[in-house]
C-alpha cells in the first residue's frame, strides 16, 4: 500500500514536467456564454484539462455563430456551437468537423406569449404577429411546429427581430408571440403570474451544443482525445454534482442561480456523435433549403463534417477494447 503511494508521489513530478511543457502551447477554445457550454467551464474549474496534460484557454464569446467565426479565423483552435450554426456553415465550407456533441436539450426553444391561453395548441394563429430571429433555431422551431401541428396554412405575420429585441417587442405589444430560447422564458415567467408558454413543446425540438474543430488543426490526435476525456469527466461531474455544477456556472457566467435552475433539468450532458445529430442537421438543412435561407443548388454531404473516428477511438479507449 505504502509503496503504491510512494510510486504515485514519485510519479507526480514527471506529470508536472509534462504539464509545464504543455503550458507553452495553450489550446484555445471559443466558448459561447451559455449554460450549454457548462462541460467546458466545469472542466476548467475542476482542473480536468490539467489532469489530462492539457493547457486549455477558454475564450468566452457571445453566441455560437461568433465562436464558429473565431475558429474559422484561426483565433482559436476549437469552437462550441449549436447544430444550426454547423448546418448553415456546412453550405459555405467543409474544412471543419464536428468532434462531439456534449449537451442536448429538448425544451430550450419555446413559443411565448403574454396571453398563452389564446394560442393554446397553436389555435387562433391567423394574423398573429410572431417575433422570430431570421434563419435561426427560432425560425426553424416555429416552422417545425407549424408543420407538426398542421398549421402551415395559417396566415401568420413573421416579424424578424434581433435576439435582444424579442422580449421588449412582446412586452410592448409589437408582437403577439415570440419564438425564443432560454432565458427569455424564465425572464418572462418572472413577470407573469402564469406560464408564458403557449404550447408544451418539450420533445418536439432538440437543441445540441457541439465541439467543432478545423480539419487542418495543428492539435494532435492524442490531445484531441485528451480534450474529449476532460469534457467527458466534466459531464460525469455535472451528473454527480448538479448543484455544485450550477453554482460554478452561475458564478462563471454571472447568471442568477434561479434562472439556471429553471432550465437545468432540461439539459442532458453527454458525449455523443450519433445519427440523431446527423438527422437533426439534415432536417434543418432541408428546412433552410425550403425557406431559401441557403442556395438551393448547393447540396451538402454532411458526412464530410462529422469526425466520427475520434469519438469512436475515445470510446474504445475508455472501454478498454
Partner 1 sequence: MMLSKRLKLTATLCSILTFVVGLSLVQVHNYQQQIYRQLNYSMKLQLIIDSLRSQLWLYQEYTDEQGLTELNNRQAELAAALSQNIDWDQQQKLIIQNINRLNTNVRTLINTQNNYHNPQAVQPITLAAERLFKAKYSMVIEEMTEEMFRLHQLSVTQAKTKQQTLLWLVGVILLILAILVTAWSFMTLTRFKKGLASLNSGMEALASGDLTSRIVFNDADELSALAHNFNLMKQSLTQITVKKDSLKQEVDRQTYKLIEQQERLIFLAEHDELTGIFNRRAFIKKIDNAIARDLRSDDQAALLFIDLNKFKQINDTLGHSIGDEVIVTIAQRLIKSLRSTDIAGRLGGDEFVVWLDLITEPINIDQKIEQLLNTIKKPIKIADHTLEVGASIGISILPKNGLSSRELISAADTAMYQAKAANHLDYCYYAGDHGVTILATS
Applying CB under 8 A, among 50, 280, 294, 310 the residue interacting with partner 1 is: 280
Footprint on residues 151-210 left by partner 1 (CB under 8 A)? 151-153, 200, 202-204, 206
Residue 106 CB, shortest distance to partner 1, in Å, is 6
Applying CB under 8 A, among 15, 191, 251, 274 the residue interacting with partner 1 is: 274
Footprint on residues 231-270 left by partner 1 (CB under 8 A)? 236, 239-240, 268, 270
Of 171, 153, 166, which Cα lies nearest the Cα of 109?
166
Residue 75 CB, shortest distance to partner 1, in Å, is 32
Applying CB under 8 A, among 126, 171, 192, 276 the residue interacting with partner 1 is: 276
What angle, rounded to 10 degrees, do the helices at 242-253 and 38-46 form?
A: 100
Angle, vertex CA 86, rays to CA 206 and CA 315, nearest 5: 75
Binding segment toward partner 1, per CB under 8 A, in 12-20, 49-57, 145-153, 222-230: 145-153
* By the rule CB under 8 A, 282 interacts with partner 1: yes
Residue 282 CB, shortest distance to partner 1, in Å, is 7
Distance (Å, whole) CA 319 – CA 283: 32
Residue 35 CB, shortest distance to partner 1, in Å, is 17
What DSSP state is assigned to residue 10? Answer: H
Footprint on residues 20-49 left by partner 1 (CB under 8 A)? none
Name every residue whose Cβ is closer than 8 Å to that of residue 271 and which is 6 or more positions away in sequence: 100, 101, 102, 228, 231, 232, 235, 311, 314
- Residue number, 195 or 200, with CB nearest to partner 1: 200
Report whether 19 contacts 50 (CB < 8 A).
yes
Footprint on residues 115-134 left by partner 1 (CB under 8 A)? none
Binding segment toward partner 1, per CB under 8 A, in 29-37, 150-158, 159-167, 254-262: 150-158
- Residue number, 149 or 160, with CB nearest to partner 1: 149
Applying CB under 8 A, among 106, 157, 159, 262 the residue interacting with partner 1 is: 106
Report whether 77 contacts 54 (CB < 8 A).
no
Q: How far is CA 290 from the centre of its chain?
A: 24
Let me know how long the chain is.
321
Burial status of residue 212 (CB atoms within 10 A of its CB: 0-12, 13-18, 19 or more): buried
* H helix runs in 149-274, sequence order: 166-171, 184-191, 221-240, 242-253, 257-264
Applying CB under 8 A, among 33, 53, 154, 283 the residue interacting with partner 1 is: 283
Footprint on residues 72-91 left by partner 1 (CB under 8 A)? none
Report whether 57 contacts 276 (CB < 8 A).
no
- Judged by the rule CB under 8 A, the positions of this chain that interact with partner 1 are 1, 104, 106, 144, 147-153, 200, 202-204, 206, 236, 239-240, 268, 270, 272, 274-276, 279-280, 282-283, 286, 318-319
Amino acid at each position: 500500500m505504502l509503496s503504491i503511494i510512494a510510486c504515485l508521489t514519485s510519479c507526480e513530478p514527471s506529470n508536472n514536467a509534462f504539464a509545464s511543457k504543455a503550458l507553452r502551447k495553450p489550446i484555445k477554445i471559443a466558448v459561447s456564454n451559455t449554460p450549454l457550454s457548462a462541460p467546458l467551464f466545469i472542466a476548467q474549474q475542476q482542473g480536468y484539462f490539467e489532469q489530462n496534460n492539457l493547457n486549455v484557454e477558454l475564450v468566452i464569446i457571445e453566441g455560437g455563430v461568433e465562436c464558429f467565426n473565431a475558429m474559422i479565423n484561426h483565433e482559436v483552435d476549437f469552437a462550441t456551437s449549436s447544430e444550426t450554426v454547423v448546418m448553415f456553415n456546412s453550405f459555405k465550407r467543409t474544412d471543419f468537423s464536428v468532434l462531439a456533441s456534449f449537451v442536448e436539450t429538448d425544451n430550450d426553444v419555446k413559443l411565448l406569449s403574454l396571453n398563452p391561453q389564446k394560442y393554446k395548441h397553436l389555435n387562433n394563429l391567423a394574423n398573429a404577429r410572431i417575433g422570430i430571429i431570421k434563419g435561426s433555431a427560432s425560425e426553424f422551431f416555429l416552422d417545425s411546429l407549424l408543420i407538426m401541428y398542421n398549421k402551415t396554412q395559417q396566415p401568420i405575420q413573421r416579424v424578424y427581430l434581433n435576439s435582444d429585441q424579442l422580449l421588449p417587442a412582446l412586452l410592448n405589444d409589437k408582437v403577439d408571440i415570440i419564438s425564443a430560447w432560454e432565458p427569455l422564458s424564465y425572464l418572462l415567467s418572472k413577470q407573469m403570474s402564469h406560464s408564458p408558454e403557449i404550447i408544451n413543446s418539450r420533445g418536439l425540438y432538440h437543441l445540441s451544443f457541439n465541439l467543432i474543430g478545423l480539419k487542418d488543426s495543428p492539435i494532435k490526435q492524442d490531445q484531441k482525445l485528451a480534450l474529449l476525456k476532460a469534457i467527458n469527466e466534466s459531464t460525469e461531474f455535472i451528473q454527480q454534482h448538479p448543484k455544485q455544477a450550477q453554482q460554478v456556472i452561475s458564478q462563471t457566467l454571472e447568471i442568477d442561480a434561479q434562472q439556471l435552475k429553471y432550465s437545468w433539468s432540461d439539459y442532458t450532458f453527454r458525449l455523443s456523435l450519433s445519427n440523431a445529430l446527423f438527422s437533426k442537421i439534415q432536417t434543418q438543412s432541408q428546412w433552410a433549403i425550403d425557406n431559401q435561407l441557403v442556395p438551393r443548388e448547393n447540396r451538402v454531404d454532411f458526412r464530410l463534417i462529422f469526425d466520427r473516428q475520434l469519438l469512436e477511438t475515445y470510446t474504445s479507449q475508455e472501454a478498454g477494447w
